[in-house]
Structure formats: structure tokens, C-alpha cells
């Protein structure tokens, strides 16, 4: 059922595993239902929390504003990231959830990366699909023990692989355990990546339970 909590319209689906839920963050033009099927495929049994981006660009929902394609409004990004962190905290209390693993695509992956850097206690880790470096000057963050999977498309016309490599380096420098996979794909999600994400999430869940 779609809910409206802490200014975020969202969907919540209970699961057998509430200790390690997925926070599903859609791309530009998506909504709170877009990534639910993906969440069910890559993490069967996990509780799913999926907010809708509160910003609109030409009628399309996003999580933060941008000046142009690939150029972020960093002040707005910081504010919206704080709002999202507050939403996650409220949703965890309301639904009885542990710290989630983010699964974000494109714009959703970018705000997930921002969450890792600005509010690292919010997430247990993340799968970032087609992310970009969110800040020109990365903030200091302690990400020790946080597993992160970055999935890039070798033929992505929007996000250069080198940009994703810089993000991987920034997160690694902050202590995260980063795996960066570059697949023969464009900006869209490929079926191969569903399998990669599912396998990685299973490993990450086992690691966090150890």
C-alpha cells in the first residue's frame, strides 16, 4: 500500500527479513513502484521500502534538483539527502526495520551515494546502478565495513565509466568495501545485472550476519 510519511510518498512491503530491508530508489521519471519487482527478484523475502522522489523536473519525479544533465544542484542535494535520511529513520521506527541496504538506479543511485557520504549511519551498504560522483569535493565519511556494489555500463551515454571509477575510489577511501563491475550495457538495466546484484546481495547479507 502506498503511504505518505515524513513528506515522502512511498510503498512498504513487509518481508520475512526485516533486519536487512532494501531501500529502493528510482531513477528520473520513476516512482515508488518502479523498483519493487527488481527488489523482489534480487532479495526474495526482504522487506522493501520505496519512496518517491519529492522533486519534479518537467513532470518527472526525482530525488534532487540538477542544473543540467550531469550537473547537480549540490545545495539541494545536501538538503534532500538530509530529508531522505530523516524519512528512513522514521520508517525504520514505524515498520520495525534494521538499517537498509540501498538499491538505487541513476538518480536514485546518486542520492544513495550522497547518503553514504553525508549520513553514513543511515545505510548498511548499497547497490548503485549507473551512479555518478555526487559532489565536486567529497565530504569526509566513515564507511568502514559498508559493502558497496557499483554497476556501470561500458556503453552508457550518460555516465562515463571514469566518473563511476572516481566514485568507487572516493567510497573506498572512506573505508567502504567496494566492488565495481563494468558490464556491456548502456544506461538501462540489463538482465545480467539482476543476477550480479542478487548474488552480491546474498553475499553481503551473509557477511553482515557473520
DSSP-derived secondary structure letter, 52: P
Q: What separation, in Å, do the N-terminal and C-terminal C-alpha atoms of the chain show?
A: 33
What pLDDT is recorded for position 193?
A: 87
Q: Are strands 101-105 and 177-183 parallel, antiparallel or unpaired?
A: unpaired
pLDDT in tens, 11-45: 999 998 777 899 999 999 999 999 999 999 999 99
Residues known to be catalytic: 106, 156, 187
Query: What are the cell numbers at 56?
Result: 519534479
Residues of the chain above pLDDT 70, percent: 94
The CATH number of domain 2-209 is 3.40.50.10140 = no
pLDDT in tens, 68-93: 877 899 999 999 999 999 999 999 99
Q: Of the candidates 51, 45, 110, which has an alpha carbon nearest to the alpha carbon of residue 86? A: 51
How do the domains of the chain map onto residue ranges? 2-209
DSSP-derived secondary structure letter, 156: -
Q: What is the mean pLDDT of the chain?
A: 91
CA distance 87 to 70: 26
What pLDDT is recorded for position 101?
A: 97
Q: What is the dihedral of CA 152, 200, 103, 193, to 10 degrees?
A: 40
Name the pTM for this structure. Answer: 0.93
What pLDDT is recorded for position 205?
A: 59
Instruction: Using the predicted structure, report yes or no on whether residue 210 has a pLDDT greater than 50.
Output: no
Amino acid at each position: 500500500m502506498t503511504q505518505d510519511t515524513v513528506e515522502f510518498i512511498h510503498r512498504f512491503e513487509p518481508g520475512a527479513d526485516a533486519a536487512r530491508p532494501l531501500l529502493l530508489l528510482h531513477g528520473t521519471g520513476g516512482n515508488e513502484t518502479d523498483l519493487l519487482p527488481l527488489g523482489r527478484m534480487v532479495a526474495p523475502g526482504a522487506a522493501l521500502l520505496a519512496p518517491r522522489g519529492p522533486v519534479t523536473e518537467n513532470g518527472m519525479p526525482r530525488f534532487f534538483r540538477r542544473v543540467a544533465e550531469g550537473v547537480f544542484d549540490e545545495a539541494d542535494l545536501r538538503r534532500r539527502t538530509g530529508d531522505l535520511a530523516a524519512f528512513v529513520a522514521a520508517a525504520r521506527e514505524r515498520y520495525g526495520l534494521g538499517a537498509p541496504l540501498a538499491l538505487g538506479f541513476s538518480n536514485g543511485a546518486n542520492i544513495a551515494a550522497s547518503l553514504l557520504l553525508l549520513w553514513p549511519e543511515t545505510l548498511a551498504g548499497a547497490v548503485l546502478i549507473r551512479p555518478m560522483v555526487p559532489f565536486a569535493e567529497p565530504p569526509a565519511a566513515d564507511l568502514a565495513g559498508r559493502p558497496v556494489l557499483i554497476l556501470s555500463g561500458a556503453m552508457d551515454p550518460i555516465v562515463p565509466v571514469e566518473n563511476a571509477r572516481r566514485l568507487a575510489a572516493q567510497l573506498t577511501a572512506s573505508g567502504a568495501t567496494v566492488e565495481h563491475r563494468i558490464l556491456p550495457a548502456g544506461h538501462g538495466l540489463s538482465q545480467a545485472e539482476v543476477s550480479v546484484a542478487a548474488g552480491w546481495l546474498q553475499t553481503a547479507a551473509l557477511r553482515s550476519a557473520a
